[in-house]
Amino acid sequence: MTGAVSGLVAAYYTLRVQLGLAEPWPALICGTFILLFILLYVLPEWRSEIKMDRLEREGINGILKEPSYFRLTPYQADDATAFNRPDNAAASVLKWIESTSHPILYFWGQSGSGKSSLLNAAVVPTLLKGGWVVCSCRPHSDSLQAISTALRQQTAIWRKPPDYRYDTERILDEAVSRVRQSGKGLILIIDQFEEVFVLGDDKARSALTRVLGDLQQNPRPGLLLLLALRAEYLTDVMTLGLPGPALGSNENAYEVRPFTRAAGQDFIEHSGLLLGEDLVEEILGEAAEIEDMPDRVRPIVLNLLGLVVSSFHGALPKGVKAGRLLSGYVERSLKNPLIKDVSLRVLRPLVTDVGTKRTLSTAELSEQAKLDPSVVRGCLIAIANDGLVRILSGNEERWEVAHDFIARLMQPMFRDRRDAAWYSVRTWLPLAALTIWLLTFIVLSLVYPRLHDDYILRELASVGLVPGPPAKTGNTLVQNGLAIQDEKAFWNVASQANYLSTPVVSLTIDAKLTGRGVPDFPKLKKLDLNLSTLEDFPNLPNLLWLRLSGDRLESLKGLPSLPALRKFELIDTRVTNFVGMPSMPALQEMTIDFNDIRGGGLSFEGMPLLPQLQKLQAPQALIESFKGLISQPELVRLELGSILIGGPGLDEGEDDHALDFGEFPPFPKLEALNLYLRKPLNLARLSKLSALKSIELQGDKIVGLEGLASAPSLNELKLSVKGSFLVKDVPALPSLTSLRVDADKLIFFDMADFPVLEKAQFDGILADLPNISAGSPLTELRLVSGREITSLDDFPDLKHLSNLDLRYLKLGKLSKLPPLENLMTIYLPGNKLADYSGLEGHRKLNHIYVYEDIDPKIVPSDVYEAIPQTLRQFVSAATWQD
């Protein structure tokens, strides 16, 4: 309401002040909107609330009327004295039941022919008097459960029902036995048996088929099963394994026929209404047109016509098409002004998709209709008093449509959603009108077209700035390659991006610019520019990511201290030092990549303190000295130098002066150090790095390895050198879990210096095998050599080893390989093995790789035969080649 009032005030101000509209037009326009709001929203909502209150009271205090003579609900046993069936069908049914010898009977007829009423009010009471025990039920979705429940509740069979409620056959057999002991017979009536096919699932029908088949094949003396169902489902009983229906006095089927015209007239005349001979004829004629049978009429049609006559004070409405008379009565009931807004929502769950009725509780209907239970009950009471629904007796209040015939009359109303759609849309119409109203005046109030987004985007596109990929926090702009003729004019137009309703958070310009005249973008978070100078660079307070590129940029002088910057990248520039770079309080990651290194490489001269820096990368740069590199308190990862695939080495004429780590500062939080340098490395004076966990070093030579002891927490070490390497020069590292050494030649040592080493990899010519104790925790070992190692005699029994790589050792046999109890994978490419018997002692071995080529070809017969038969299944086909 506050928003609506504010909107009206804004609208009046726009009309009166900004648009200069004279009185009384501003007041008249605003007043018209208020009137429409009241008529379209306030009054309908007020009336709806009144009706809901009345329905709620009706649901709490309302009373169901007793059915009259004309009724749509079936007669019950209590209605036996009021039941009138003028065609004497009850006597015929009783005679048929007494004379038949079949264990399972079909009691069938058209929908509305009076099957349930005939059974409940005439046949069952007579059978009870004749010495039968009668048990009736409806199958719903689980017929066996319904039978069990009905039998257990039959007090004529037992005082205390059995506990095994889910064993239907057992309950049925015991019930028959008890009834026979008393000298009586048991008739089990399953009314509305068509629910088995409509509501039941395949599992329930399968279970029922088994029970019915047993009753048919093995009849129980004293038990008669009567299935009452609609005519259109009669042949479906054969899908349950039952015999087909046959009519006759001693057969298994009885058809309940509609009334003859004479019986129908007798039924109407017994109603007690003074209808007159002409009106009776008119009713019968109307019924004949509806039924399309001149000599037959169903009781349901006569009852419904009787209700129509009663509601129209003893007359039939004139001018109504015969086919519309009955549906019109149903529609008139459901469009009762008190319930029309909710009736279809309440009734829809009670009708199945095939037009049959479904039983639900008040609580279930309330949940599905999303209405208060009292409102649902009040609506159903009103419809029940018109005879269209009924309440079922039981512990829980349950409702159903009075008859399947009525359910089918309701179905078209559920498909016609116009009333429901209007009811749903009506609530939103005033809000939509208010929204349109306010948006109209907002648009009118934009008297400066420069501020309009479309105008600004067109201006930006004129200089090559177009929207880029969408971002969660705002717009992105990219330069589409359009040549920039006037840099000053370009930046003047680009500055208009600050006036877009959604802020620009990312700007990418690939064109070469000087960098002079760059405007302020206060909300920008990511910026990518190709500049030649930073002298006029603005201080962007919210910038998080800055990427500068271009081979014309040679210095960081002029770069402001960007307070929010977290990531800074220099790509393909000529910047070779840090001179001019200010301290950036929030910077976490810096990358200097693809730099022009012809001017002597990268120098750390001028490096400022960066208190939040966590990652510094300078790949593809030549490092001559660590001079100028200062300790950064939060640095976690440092990567310097050029990665050389295949190993380092100096070009002819290059300086072979070793890079001294005496100038390398301590980094208290450094965890990963990667140095790829094309010169010798001397680690002797490496500063103490207490947090360091991983080192990867690549150099022409690496000396002073004792300096690694300054990293007590080191658990991963990778070394790549040229020439010979004495692995024994690596100091004792008690925390080391992973070691890799790549060299031309490897000379080993006692690996007891690494008590927790789990993974070791050695690539190069092996002078000998490493001396590893059997108690080593090593789980992975790789030995790749270019020379022949003929014997594995001294290979230790490594209890924990699961992965062993012996590539290119040129082994001839594996017979000396000790059994490794946890070995699961072994690599053997590049060997000349003729004997694989040494693999048989490894109980857990399940992967054997013989070739590096992944071409899946047939295994040569000699290789296949050399592998022990018990292990052939573990040779991966993806690694075989000819």
Among 3.90.1200, 3.80.10, 3.90.550, 3.40.50, name the CATH number for the domain at 723-882: 3.80.10
CA nearest neighbour of 340 among 425, 423, 430, 426 = 423
- For the sheet with 398-401, list strands across it: 360-361, 398-401, 389-392
Class of domain 331-416: mainly alpha
Query: Which pairs count as long-range contacts for 559-563, CB under 8 Å and 24+ apart, including other chains?
Result: 559/534, 561/585, 562/586, 563/539
Split at pLDDT 50, 70, 90, the class of 650 is: very low
Question: Is the four-CA dihedral 859, 861, 866, 872 of positive or negative sign?
Answer: positive
- What residues pair up with 14 in beta bridges, in sequence order? none
Rounded to 5 degrees, φ, ψ at 307 are -65, -40
DSSP output for 176-211: HHHHHHTT-EEEEEE-STTHHHHT--HHHHHHHHHH
Q: Enumerate residues 6+ apart whose C-beta is below 8 A from 511.
A: 464, 479, 481, 482, 483, 484, 530
**Residue 74 pLDDT greater than 50, yes or no:** yes
Candidate from 165-174, 837-846, 867-876 with smallest mean pLDDT: 867-876
pLDDT digits (tens, 9 = 90+) for 341-377: 888 888 888 888 877 888 888 888 888 888 888 888 8
Q: Where are the domains of the chain?
A: 88-256, 331-416, 723-882
Give CA–CA dist 819/839, Å, rounded. 8
Q: What pLDDT was estimated at residue 600? A: 47
pLDDT digits (tens, 9 = 90+) for 693-720: 999 988 778 888 888 888 888 999 998 8
pLDDT digits (tens, 9 = 90+) for 762-784: 888 877 777 787 788 999 999 88
Indicate whether this model's pTM tops 0.95: no
55, 341, 342 from 51: Cα distances, Å: 6, 9, 10
**Residue 161 pLDDT greater than 50, yes or no:** yes
Q: Do domains 331-416 and 723-882 have the same CATH topology?
A: no
Class of domain 88-256: alpha beta
**Residue 456 pLDDT greater than 60, yes or no:** yes
Q: What pLDDT was estimated at residue 661? A: 78
Residues 743/648, Cβ–Cβ less than 8 Å: no
Residue with the larger pLDDT of the pair 448 and 181: 181
Task: Read off the tokens for 213.
Answer: 């088949």
Mean of pLDDT values over 488-510: 89
